[in-house]
Structure 1
Amino acid sequence: MTALTPARVLHSEWHKLWTVRSTWIMLAAATVLTVGVGIAMGASYEEDRGEVSGIDPVQFLLFGTQFSQILLAVVAVLFMAGEYGTGLVRSTMVAVPRRLPVLWSKAGVVTAVTFAATFTTLLVTFTAGQLFLDGTDKELSLTDPTVLGTLLGSTAGLTSLALIGLGLGALLRSVPGGITTYIGGVIVLPEVLRMFPYDAMDRIAKYFPGRAAEALMTLRDTPDYAATGPALLALTLWTAAILGAAAALLRRRDV
C-alpha cells in the first residue's frame, strides 16, 4: 500500500485543480481582463483629465484587477466547495482521514498558482500599459524605486484574496454561498461602510481585505488607504483567521 505523505496529498490537490476545465477558463479570463483593461487605460489616458490624473500610476494600470480578483476567488471557492457539490469530498476525506492536510495542500496549490499567474500578468500589464504613457506624468519603469515592490505587493494581496475565497468555500461548503459571501464581504461591505458620514467607518473600511489589497497597489501611502505595513498585516490576519476557522470546522464536521 502506498504511504500517505504530505507530498502525495499536495500532488493530488495539484492534479485536481488542473484537471478541472473551469480553472483554465477562469485563469485565462483573469489574465485577459487584467491585461486588456491595463492597455485600455494606458491608451486612453489624457494628462489634462483631472479626474484620473491624481490616481496612483501603478494602481491606474492595474484597474482590471478589480474584476479579475473575483475570477481568482471563484477558482479558489470552486476548488474547495466544488468537492462538496459533487460528493468527491467523501472520497478525499476517506483517503486523508486527518483532513487538515487536504486544506493546507489546497491552500498551498492556490498560493503557488495564483502568485505565479498574477505576478506574470501584472508584469505584462504594467509593461504593456506603459507603452502608451511615455512622456506623461504616469510614465514609470520597472527599474524605478518601489515599482517592482509594488507589483509584488499587489500580487501578494491578490493571492491573499484568493486564499480568503478558499477559506470561505471550506466554511460554507457551497459554491454560490462562498462566491456571494466573498463579493458581499470583501468587495461590497467596505464601500457601504465608506458611505456613512463617520471617520471611524472610513478608517475601519481601510482594513477590510479588499481595501487592504488595494493599498498594496499604490507606490506611496495615501490618505485613501491604510499604510502599506498595516494593510499587509490586516490582510494577513484576515486570511489566517478565515483559514483557521475553516480548519477548525473541518475537524469537527462529519464530512
Structure 2
Amino acid sequence: MTGTETTEYRVTLPRVIRGEWVKLRGQRSIRWVIALAVVVPLLAIAIWALTQSPASPRRFDEVDVVLGSVTSSIFETLVLFTLLGALVGTNEYETRTITTTMAAIPRRWPVVVAKAVVVAAISAAVSLIVLFSGLGIASLIVPTSAPVGLADPGVVAALLGTALFQTSAAVISLAIALVLRSSIGAIAGTFGFLYVVPGVFNILPLTPVQFFASTFPGPASGSLTALVDAPGQLPYGASVVAVLVWTVVWFGIALLTTEKRDV
C-alpha cells in the first residue's frame, strides 16, 4: 500500500464524525425525532402564550411572561432530546452493526466522541432554532407594551442557558445509552439522574447534601432558564459550570465503558 493510499483510508476523528452524521441522516426514526423536536415545542409555546398576560405593565413582568412562554416547552424538548440520545446510543447495538463499526475503528474512543459531537450539534442547533423562533412567536401573541426581543436584559442569557441544559440532557442520554445499551433504560436513567436523584438528596436535612443536589442539571436549570437566579439555587454562572461538569462526567463514564467492555 502506498503512502497516498494509507492517508486516504486512515481513520481520523473528522471522518468518523462525518460517518456518524451520514448514518444518522439515513435513519428515519432520527429524522422524525428531529422534526418533532422542532414542531412540538413551537406549538407548545404558541398555545401557552395564548393563555398568558403580564401581571403588571412593568417591563420586567412583560419580558418574564414572554420568556416563560418560551421556556414552557422545555419538557417536550427534553423528552425528544432524551429519545434522540438514546436512539443514537443504542441503534447500532440493537441491529448488531456496532461490530462492523468497532472493527473499522478498533480504538473505539473516536466512535463515542463522534456520536457525542453529532448529538450535541443537532440538539444545540434545534434548541436554538426553537427558542429564538419561539421568542418571536410568544412576543407576537402575548399582549405587551412593546415586542420583547433579544435587547431586553436577561433574555439572551436565558435562551442560551436553556439550550445548554437541553443539549446537555441529550448528551447525557447518549452516554447512559452507551453504558446500558438500552433505549428505555437510557430514557429512564436520564430523567432519574436529572430530577429523581437530586430530589431524593434534597429530602435529607443536611446542607452539604442539599447543595450537592443543587448541582445536578435538573435543579441547576432553574437559574439557566429564568431572567433572574432562582431562589435557593445556584447562580447562573455556577449553574453553567455544574451542567458542563456533569455532562463531561457522564461522557467520561461512557468512554471508559465502551473502551473496556466487549462489543
Question: Shared fold by TM > 0.5?
Answer: yes
Cα distance change, pair 146–47 in 1 and its aligned pair in 2 (3 A):
closer
User: Displacement of 1:28 after TM fit?
Assistant: 1.6
User: Displacement of 1:56 after TM fit?
Assistant: 4.3
Determine whether 1:114 maps to 2:113: no
Partner of 1:253: 261
Q: How many residues align?
A: 250
Instruction: Give the match's secondary structure for 1:145.
Output: coil
1:152-191 equivalences in 2 (<5 Å): 152-191=160-199
Partner of 2:43: 36
1:208-223 equivalences in 2 (<5 Å): 208-223=216-231
Partner of 2:97: 88
Cα distance change, pair 235–27 in 1 and its aligned pair in 2 (3 A):
same
1:191-206 equivalences in 2 (<5 Å): 191-194=199-202, 196=203, 198=205, 200=207, 202-206=210-214
* AA of the residue aligned to 1:6: L
CA contact (8 A) 1:213 1:231 kept: yes
User: Displacement of 1:45 after TM fit?
Assistant: 0.9
* AA of the residue aligned to 1:225: Q
1:120-135 equivalences in 2 (<5 Å): 120-135=129-144
- Look at both structures and tell me which one has the larger radius of gyration over its CA atoms: 2
User: Displacement of 1:188 after TM fit?
Assistant: 3.4
Cα distance change, pair 114–34 in 1 and its aligned pair in 2 (3 A):
same
Give the unaligned 5+ runs of structure 2: none
TM, length-normalised to structure 2: 0.86
Counterparts of 1:47 and 1:198, CA distance in 2: 37
* AA of the residue aligned to 1:119: L
Partner of 2:77: 68
User: Displacement of 1:230 after TM fit?
Assistant: 1.1
CA contact (8 A) 1:158 1:213 kept: no
Counterparts of 1:54 and 1:46, CA distance in 2: 8
- Residue deviations 1:220-253, cap 9 Å, x none? 1120532111111111111111110111111111
CA contact (8 A) 1:154 1:214 kept: no
Cα distance change, pair 66–224 in 1 and its aligned pair in 2 (3 A):
farther
* AA of the residue aligned to 1:19: G
User: Displacement of 1:209 after TM fit?
Assistant: 1.5
User: Displacement of 1:48 after TM fit?
Assistant: 4.8
Give the unaligned 5+ runs of structure 1: none
Partner of 2:156: 148
CA RMSD of aligned residues (A): 2.4
Which portions of structure 1, spanning 4 or more consecutive aligned residues, are displaced by more than 6 angstroms? none
User: Displacement of 1:83 after TM fit?
Assistant: 1.3
User: Displacement of 1:33 after TM fit?
Assistant: 2.0
* AA of the residue aligned to 1:73: T
CA contact (8 A) 1:34 1:62 kept: no
Counterparts of 1:172 and 1:162, CA distance in 2: 15
Counterparts of 1:43 and 1:252, CA distance in 2: 52
Instruction: Give the match's secondary structure for 2:149.
Output: coil
Cα distance change, pair 140–206 in 1 and its aligned pair in 2 (3 A):
farther
CA contact (8 A) 1:62 1:126 kept: no
